[in-house]
Structure 1
Amino acid sequence: MSNDSRIHVKSWLRLKHLVLLVTLDESRNLHSTARHMNMSQPAASKMLKDIETFFGMTLFRRQPRAMEVTDAGRLLVRYARSVLNDTDRLIDDLVSLREGGHGKLAIGAVPGAAPLVLPQAITAIKARRPQLAVSLVENSSDRLLVDLEYKRLDVAIGRFTDAAQRHLFDFVPLQAEPVSVVVRAGHPLCEGMPGLGEVIRWPWVLHPMRSPMRGLFEAALAEAGVPSPRNVVETTSTQTTLQMVGASDAIALLPTSVLRTAVSAGAFAALPLTIGEPLGYYGVLTRKREEVPALVGEFIDMLLARGD
């Protein structure tokens, strides 16, 4: 694309175009999209047609029951989400400055990072910047990286779950993450040396299939020739997992670092089972080809210092 073409795109494309694309991708219905944007359906249809004419590509195919996004449309929607989230963040930052605030830091982290380096780093940056607003989201790596890509997060502590993600994010390793098979204190399985064939007959609370921890579990079962458990509740919430395990005979697979914190109260125990090797190193993830803001860089330095 020539430089003139790039300038032409930048001068023509508007935020309202991006809102239309994202809203239509979510609803797959022009009538719902028009209502959400407080405009008539013909006006929404014309706007979509204008965007498609400008780029010379079909972005959504009109189907009898729903709009179907094309590959080109998917690419533009991905860009639109990123820009709109960035715009939301700009508005929040400007409001914060106008009201005398001192900035905001949005962090995402895998559960294993929460009991270790993360609280120390957050405490350190808050000591240096007491008025800084910090938000922390705990989730599996695959979901964190979606939020990081679409700029809902400033930085994530996790790991790659797909080779293609290496083209989107920079990665600095922190720590390896061993996992433990966790039950409530006094669970019947604590009285013996259960094997995989026995524990899969009990209820389980596990991460979804796409998560690295679940992949580790399923690989260990396959290697041992043991089928997957059938009685499973899936969640990425560590707190929900601990509550369910503590209140029932359910079993969970959790980072050993999480268990250490819980065991100190005597509420949980680790079964004498080894599930594969430790998960690969988790680390600090940021968006490629994007300048890291000074605040985020300061926080990353604190993370790395404590990770060592």
Structure 2
Amino acid sequence: MNIAHADAITPELTLTHLRAFLSVATTGSITKSSDDIFKASSAITRSIRELERALGVVLFERKPRGMLLSAYGEAVLRRAARINDQAEQTVEELCRSRALGAISRNVLANLMFSGRKLQMLEQLAELRHLSAAADKLGMSQAGASMALSRIEGAIGQPLFHRMPQGMVASDKADKLVAAAKRIFAELRHMEADISGLAGTQAGTVIIGALPLGRTYILPTAIAHTLKRFPKIRVKMVEAPYEVLVSGLRTGDIDLIFGALRSEALCRGLLTESLFEDRIGIVARAGHPLADRPMIALESLLNEQWILPRPDAPGRRLIDDSFAELGLTPPEASVETGDLAIVRQLLGSSDMLTAMSPRQLQVEIESGVLVELQVPLGQTTRQIGLTLRDGALLPPIAQAILDGIRLHAVGLPAFGRPAHG
């Protein structure tokens, strides 16, 4: 059986036929499903056929005693049930909070299974301009405007505030968009599940990479996995932690690799520590301080510093290290987490930086940069994986996770921490 290309597994097409599939999978009969969802048998048969064509697999075995799920059907059912649960949870939440007034559950339920409408809300919430959303979806602006009017008309109130800076999503729209993203993530994983059963292991894994995760372990793990499964596609998202976690919670991102945060910031998330890292003081080779066997931290207070943003874990660690030794943390001449900028500044000046030596491992091992021998306070932190609790990742994502774990376990020691 020919597995459909990812472009064919679209929210617009798949969601349209998913409720009919769920009913037939539950009742085991086209006729019973007709009574169950008040739809003609011919329409249900057509929906199943269209869904099978879109996915490129046979979902049911047609038997005299009814419609029996195939192995592919069982895989699709797992995702379809999760989508249905998400839709029902969102409808219940909005109805219970009376956020949408006296709107009927059927209107909301129909919206949750309309891929095109959910895509419209998602793009409009992100881009804030109707013309930009229309262009992204391949629609005319007039068509997009009419579609939005129909959605808001059915719901009975506006979902977006028309502001000078663009169209700002209301709280109701934000809830709908968050649910839509999780539904779209399940559809994306559905493709990977099907390909896994077919033995092709295809699909897309989206990884949020924090600064330390972008050096050595993650690239090596991805290369290792792609060698085993060349049809996997990996998309990297490099952004601040808050942005990555937001994407993780909605399903836009499958996993995050990097410095772990406190429990207070990880509610609803699962964290897995893989190894311990430390902060060091790094300068260019040839720096006036580079050849000193030991440097007192207080002697560096008047140096020019390149430091991470104040809310970054590495910045808090170095500030705490100075405070632990009774010193006022240095002022940053440059605040950045961009390694390309850090490398260039270090190489062309006598500035110092405080970060994990692993992030500059290539430059240190090649002799371009050096770690100064500076006794610090406690600057260790845990590096690992962050996942969404309750997420059901497909085999290809598990393969990436296994690769990260494998290369983290075999991680060679890098230098030695300078202890206070």
TM-score computed with the length of structure 1 as normaliser = 0.74
Find the partner of 1:300 among 395, 401, 415. Answer: 401
8 Å contact 2:297–2:375 — kept in the other structure?
Answer: no
In structure 2, distance between residues paired with 1:203 and 1:177: 21
Gaps of 5+ in 2: 1-86, 93-104, 410-420
What residue in structure 2 maps to residue 265 of structure 1? Answer: 366
Find the partner of 1:234 among 315, 320, 336. Answer: 336
Give secondary structure in 1 for the equivalent of 2:374.
coil
The residue type paired with residue 258 of structure 2 is: G
What residue in structure 1 maps to residue 352 of structure 2? Answer: 251
Q: What is the CA distance between 1:183 and its match in structure 2? A: 0.8
8 Å contact 1:144–1:158 — kept in the other structure?
Answer: no
Deviates more, 1:49-58 or 1:10-19: 49-58
1:5-154 matched pairs, under 5 angstroms: 8=106, 9-13=108-112, 14-30=114-130, 33=133, 38-40=139-141, 44=144, 47-52=147-152, 54-55=154-155, 59-63=159-163, 66-84=166-184, 102-115=202-215, 117-118=217-218, 121-136=221-236, 141-154=241-254
What residue in structure 2 maps to residue 198 of structure 1? Answer: 300
Give secondary structure in 2 for the equivalent of 1:304.
helix
| Closer/same/farther in 2, CA of residues 208 and 86 from structure 1, 3 Å limit | farther
Q: What is the CA distance between 1:174 and its match in structure 2? A: 0.5
The residue type paired with residue 174 of structure 1 is: L
Compute the RMSD of aligned alpha carbons.
4.1
CA offsets per residue over residues 248-300 of structure 1, 9 Å max, x none?
Answer: 22322221323444321111111233555344322222222121212222332
Find the partner of 1:183 among 283, 297, 307. Answer: 283
Q: Rg: which structure is higher?
A: 2
In structure 1, distance between residues paired with 2:218 and 2:135: 43
8 Å contact 1:173–1:281 — kept in the other structure?
Answer: yes
8 Å contact 1:105–1:133 — kept in the other structure?
Answer: yes
**How many residue pairs were aligned?**
303
In structure 2, distance between residues paired with 1:298 and 1:25: 33
What residue in structure 2 maps to residue 287 of structure 1? Answer: 388
CA offsets per residue over residues 148-201 of structure 1, 9 Å max, x none?
Answer: 345444332124446465334222210111111111111123255253563454
8 Å contact 1:115–1:261 — kept in the other structure?
Answer: no
What residue in structure 1 maps to residue 81 of structure 2? Answer: none
Give secondary structure in 1 for the equivalent of 2:110.
helix
The residue type paired with residue 176 of structure 2 is: L
Q: What is the CA distance between 1:128 and its match in structure 2? A: 3.3
8 Å contact 2:296–2:375 — kept in the other structure?
Answer: no
The residue type paired with residue 207 of structure 1 is: P
1:208 is aligned to 2:309 = yes
The residue type paired with residue 296 of structure 1 is: A
Give secondary structure in 1 for the equivalent of 2:266.
helix
Deviates more, 1:8-17 or 1:24-33: 24-33
| Closer/same/farther in 2, CA of residues 213 and 275 from structure 1, 3 Å limit | farther
Q: Percent identity?
A: 23
8 Å contact 1:155–1:286 — kept in the other structure?
Answer: yes
8 Å contact 1:60–1:73 — kept in the other structure?
Answer: yes
Runs of 4+ in 1 over 6 A off after TM superposition: 88-95
CA offsets per residue over residues 202-221 of structure 1, 9 Å max, x none?
Answer: 141x3333321123234445
In structure 2, distance between residues paired with 1:22 and 1:290: 20
8 Å contact 2:160–2:170 — kept in the other structure?
Answer: yes
In structure 2, distance between residues paired with 1:175 and 1:217: 19
In structure 1, distance between residues paired with 2:382 and 2:253: 20
Q: What is the CA distance between 1:61 and its match in structure 2? A: 2.6
What residue in structure 1 maps to residue 255 of structure 2? Answer: 155
TM-score computed with the length of structure 2 as normaliser = 0.58
In structure 1, distance between residues paired with 2:181 and 2:135: 19
8 Å contact 1:23–1:33 — kept in the other structure?
Answer: yes
In structure 1, distance between residues paired with 2:184 and 2:271: 25
In structure 1, distance between residues paired with 2:120 and 2:229: 38
Deviates more, 1:15-24 or 1:159-168: 159-168
Give secondary structure in 2 for the equivalent of 1:231.
strand
8 Å contact 1:170–1:288 — kept in the other structure?
Answer: yes
